[in-house]
Amino acid sequence: MSEYILQAKNLTKIYGLHSENEFEALHGIDFTVTSGEFICIMGPSGSGKSTFINNISTIDMPTSGWVRIHDIDIRTMSSHEIGKFRYQNLGFVFQDFNLLDTHTLFENIAMPLSLAHIDRTQIIQRVQAMAKQLNIEQLLNKYPYQCSGGQRQRAAIARALINQPQIIIADEPTGNLDSENSHELLMLLKKLNEDYQTTIIMVSHDPFIASYSSRLVYIKDGYIEQMIKRESLTQDEYFQKIVELNSAESRRHFQ
């Protein structure tokens, strides 16, 4: 059994392989994650952050190299096995929500539990408890298009967390939220990380949001250019280091 919950080796992603638009977005990245880490991925626009997070989390498949989650090589799984693996192990929070408009919030949130054939009474209890925590318990019978952006985002978060995943994958999770809702979401992620050792891998542009992580991974031009560990730094010291890294990069951009 590996000491890592997630490992990637020589991860390469080429879009449009063998076409005239062939583009190598990731160039042989090695990356490991220990259980209970809270990782934030940052980097300039177009540097490969979403490509990276998608390729380490079964959303997309690398062109070459491998990714192991819980020691299982994700390339060896059939699409049916990947589906099952996702709802058993992973929770996804995306900026654009990905809720199904033909289903109520209750049905959307319950989906991972229904797929796992959890008993109906338990589903109702768990969805109601999660909705209460995210302050959307009054909205469970509404459809996503009847809810505000913040409410939809909270429903998507409830769906991501309902199966108590060991790893949460979040791509710009606060992108469509106001500052109060962003703060609440971060508090929730932090609590899951601290109380249940849930591993979190999140993409963000915002140094303040990044300062909640335990390790910052800075991606540039398809490579991991730098990593900073928070370790014994206070959140404020860590925040300052993240700001410095981003502003040094911005200055380099304009030179």
Ligand X SMILES: Nc1ncnc2c1ncn2[C@@H]1O[C@H](COP(=O)(O)OP(=O)(O)OP(=O)(O)O)[C@@H](O)[C@H]1O
Task: Tell me the window of 40-48, 66-74, 95-103, 105-113 that interacts with ligand X (CB under 6 A).
Answer: 40-48
* Residue 45 makes contact with ligand X by CB under 6 A: yes
Alpha carbon distance 144, 156 (integer Å): 10
* Residue 207 makes contact with ligand X by CB under 6 A: no
Alpha carbon distance 174, 170 (integer Å): 9
Among 7, 47, 176, 193, binds ligand X (CB under 6 A): 47
* Residue 46 makes contact with ligand X by CB under 6 A: yes
Residue (32 or 95) nearer to ligand X, CB: 95
Alpha carbon distance 25, 179 (integer Å): 32
Q: Which of residues 9-38 bind ligand X (CB under 6 A)?
A: 15-16, 23, 25
* Residue 246 makes contact with ligand X by CB under 6 A: no
> Could you give the 3-state DSSP secondary structure of residue 152?
helix
Strands 167-171 and 90-94: parallel
* Residue 250 makes contact with ligand X by CB under 6 A: no
Do residues 163 and 88 lie in contact, with contact meaning Cβ atoms separated by under 8 Å? yes
Residue (51 or 174) nearer to ligand X, CB: 51
Residue (23 or 196) nearer to ligand X, CB: 23
Shortest approach of ligand X to residue 51 CB, angstroms?
Answer: 3
Shortest approach of ligand X to residue 117 CB, angstroms?
Answer: 34
How many residues make contact with ligand X (CB under 6 A)? 12
Residue (158 or 201) nearer to ligand X, CB: 201
Do residues 159 and 116 lie in contact, with contact meaning Cβ atoms separated by under 8 Å? no
Shortest approach of ligand X to residue 21 CB, angstroms?
Answer: 7
Tokens found for residue 156: 């998507």
Residue (19 or 232) nearer to ligand X, CB: 19
Query: In the chain, how long is the greatest CA-to-CA distance?
Result: 61
Residue (45 or 232) nearer to ligand X, CB: 45
Shortest approach of ligand X to residue 153 CB, angstroms?
Answer: 17
Give the alpha-carbon dihedral of 44, 175, 49, 250, to 10 degrees: 10
Helix axis angle, 149-161 to 179-196, nearest 10°: 10
* Residue 43 makes contact with ligand X by CB under 6 A: yes
> Could you give the 3-state DSSP secondary structure of residue 141?
coil
Region of 70 (left: φ > 0; alpha: ψ -120 to 50; beta: rest) is left
Residue (63 or 88) nearer to ligand X, CB: 63
Amino acid in the structure at residue 156? A
Q: By the criterion CB under 6 A, which residues form the site for ligand X? A: 15-16, 23, 25, 43, 45-51
